[in-house]
Amino acid sequence: MLSKSQAKLFFIAGTLLFTVLLLILTVDTLRQIPTQTREANLSEEVKRGKLLWEKNNCMGCHTIMGEGAYYAPELTKVYERRGPEWMKVFIQDPQAMFPGERKMVKYGFTDSEIDDLIAFFKWIGEIDLNGFPAKPTLTLVINSPSVNSNKSDVAQPAKFQALCTACHSVSGKGGNVGPALDGVGKKYNSEYLHKWLSNPAEVKPGTAMPKLPLTEEELNELVKYLGQI
d(CA 142, CA 152): 17
∠ CA 137-141-147, nearest 5°, is 150
3-state secondary structure (DSSP) of residue 67:
strand
Residue 130: per-residue pLDDT: 86
Residue 144: per-residue pLDDT: 47
Contact call for residues 134 and 70 (beta carbons, < 8 A): no
Give 224-228 contacts, CB < 8 A, sequence gap 24+: 224/190, 225/154, 225/155, 225/156, 225/157, 225/160, 226/181, 226/184, 226/185, 226/193, 227/185, 227/190, 227/193, 228/148, 228/151, 228/154, 228/185
Between 44-55 and 111-126, two packed helices, what is the crossing angle to 10 degrees?
100
Nearest partner of 200 among 209, 192, 189, 191, judged by Cα: 209
The pTM assigned to this predicted structure is: 0.74
Residue type, position 213, single letter: P
Where helices occur in 98-213 by DSSP H, the ranges are 111-126, 158-162, 184-187, 190-198, 200-203
Residue-by-residue pLDDT tens, the chain, 229 positions: 788 888 999 999 999 999 999 999 999 988 988 988 889 999 999 999 999 999 999 999 999 999 999 899 999 999 998 999 999 999 999 888 887 776 788 999 999 999 999 999 999 999 998 888 887 665 555 454 444 445 556 789 999 999 999 999 998 888 888 899 999 999 999 999 999 999 998 999 888 899 999 999 999 999 999 999 8
